[in-house]
Copies of this chain bind each other. A is one copy, B any other.
Amino acid sequence: MNRRVILASRPTGVAQAENFAIIDAPHEPLAPGQIRVRNRFLSVEPALRGWIADQVIYSAPVAIGSVMRALAVGDIIESQAEGWAVGETLCGWFGWQDEATVTPDAVLRRVAETDLSPSLALGVLGINGVTAYLALTGIGQPKAGEIVVVSTAAGGVGSAVGQIAALLGCRTVGIAGGPGKVAQCLDEFGYDAAIDYQSAGALGPALAAACPDGIDIYYDNTSGAISDAVFPMLNIGARVVICGTASIAQWDPWPQGPRVERHLLVKRARIQGFVVFDHLHAWTMAVDRLAQWVREGKLRYREDILEGLESCPDALAGLYRGENRGKRIIRI
């Protein structure tokens, strides 16, 4: 039997454990063109909330009774598809289940870095790292000596952004919530400065002290008050990467904020949104670069690994309770 975590009911807000159920499903027969993947690691990420919600932005919502959509890493244990050999490790849309029976279009990439833990394909060598690398380099276009400010600086994406920017010769300033995360920014992820937005009082003066020469790149994962403090400090020709809006709890009613047009005009600055799945063609190139930095010990990351499929139902809610201190992954 194949154990599956299915969506049992549609949540309002963040899905809780009771919105999921674990069922035993019979093995499906393998049709021509299909492969069967035995999952080893399942991904848990904030975006799952959106994939479940009724009003879905980037893709169709997960149907009630269906296996929960998620990226996973696993090995091919059966193959009826040419070019896909038993034993190969893949990262793809294999869902929260022991085994996935899929066609190869569910595969995001072949995991070639066999010297590293395959779990990394869900974190620093997955969405988080690839987003950080492609958005920072593609939109941010960092040049050595520039000042890069990162919001949610200790998070999965932010921590990679800060380190990559430093590797490219930039000075990095992280914004994070609480002394623990600020310490992590400084001690673990190598930021040149870090600001606790929860204790900084007025964020503006703290930012001004940390960035006396202004800000060339703002990598924004939050929107909200943090962005409002950053925008007036942008330098001429600055670039702003919009990667997330974590500080905005809801968009109905639509939140107001200080208008950005004048900053953009006076500073000839640019803001641009980034969604990593638009950039599949560049994924392998990005992973190769990131993996090399990981091997050299230049790109650090944290994983938060839960054990067993039975950890799945509460894993997303736990993420929103702030339990994790690293990329949340389930090992099965």
Report A's interface with B, CB cutoff 8 A. Answer: 57-58, 220, 223, 227, 242-245, 248, 251, 254-275, 278
Chain B residues closer than 8 Å to A254, beta-carbon distance: 258-259
Q: Are A255 and B266 in contact (CB under 8 A)?
A: no
**Number of copies of this protein chain within its complex:** 2
Q: For the complex, what is the distance from the CA of A265 to the CA of B251, rounded to whole Å?
A: 13
**CB-defined contacts of A223 to chain B, threshold 8 Å:** 259, 261-262
Q: Residue of B at shortest CB range from A275? A: B268
Since A242-B261, A256-B256, A261-B273 are in contact, a sample of 20 more A-B pairs with Cβ atoms closer than 8 Å, ordered by chain A residue number, is: A57-B266, A220-B261, A223-B259, A223-B262, A242-B264, A245-B262, A248-B259, A248-B262, A251-B262, A257-B259, A261-B271, A263-B273, A265-B273, A265-B274, A268-B275, A269-B272, A269-B273, A270-B270, A270-B272, A270-B273
Residues of B within 8 A of A263 (CB): 273
B278 touches A273 (CB 8 A): no
**Most interface-central of A257, A263, A278 (chain B CB within 10 A):** A257
Contact A271 B271 (CB under 8 A): yes
Chain B residues lying within 8 Å of A58, measured Cβ to Cβ, are 266
A203–B31 Cα distance when bound, in Å, is: 54
- List B contacts of A261 (CB < 8 A): 220, 223, 227, 242, 245, 248, 271, 273
Q: Could you show 19 A-B contacts with beta carbons less than 8 Å apart?
A: A220-B261, A223-B262, A242-B261, A242-B264, A245-B262, A248-B261, A256-B258, A256-B259, A260-B260, A263-B273, A264-B272, A265-B273, A266-B273, A268-B273, A268-B274, A268-B275, A270-B271, A270-B273, A271-B271
Contact among B57, B265, B270, B271 for A244, CB-based, below 8 A? B265
**Contact partners of A260 in chain B: CB under 8 A:** 260, 271
Residues on B with C-beta less than 8 A from A227 are: 261
| A256 and B228 alpha carbons, distance in the complex (Å) | 11
B266 contacts A271, CB within 8 Å?
no
Residues on B with C-beta less than 8 A from A220 are: 261
Least Cβ distance of A155 to chain B in Å?
16
Residues of B within 8 A of A251 (CB): 262
Task: Please report the C-alpha to C-alpha distance between residue A263 and residue B273 in the assembled complex, in whole angstroms.
Answer: 8
Chain B residues near A243: list those with CB within 8 A: 265
Q: Give the CA-CA distance A245 to B263 in the complex, in Å.
A: 11
**With A and B bound together, what is the CA distance between A31 and B227 in angstroms?**
52
How far, in whole Å, are A244 and B266 apart by their CA atoms in the complex?
10
Q: How far, in whole Å, are A48 and B249 apart by their CA atoms in the complex?
A: 43
* Closest chain B residue to A255, Cβ basis: B259
In angstroms, Cα B257 to Cα A311, docked, is 43
Closest 10 A/B residue pairs (Cβ): A264-B273, A265-B273, A270-B272, A223-B261, A257-B259, A256-B256, A242-B264, A268-B273, A271-B271, A242-B265
CA distance A204 to B185 in the complex (A): 44
- State how many angstroms separate the Cβ of A220 from the closest Cβ of chain B: 7
Complexed CA–CA distance, A262 and B248 (Å): 10
For A275, what are the chain B residues with a Cβ–Cβ distance below 8 Å? 265, 268
Give the CA-CA distance A257 to B259 in the complex, in Å: 6
- The smallest C-beta distance from A86 to any residue of chain B, in angstroms, reads 38
Give the CA-CA distance A232 to B281 in the complex, in Å: 29
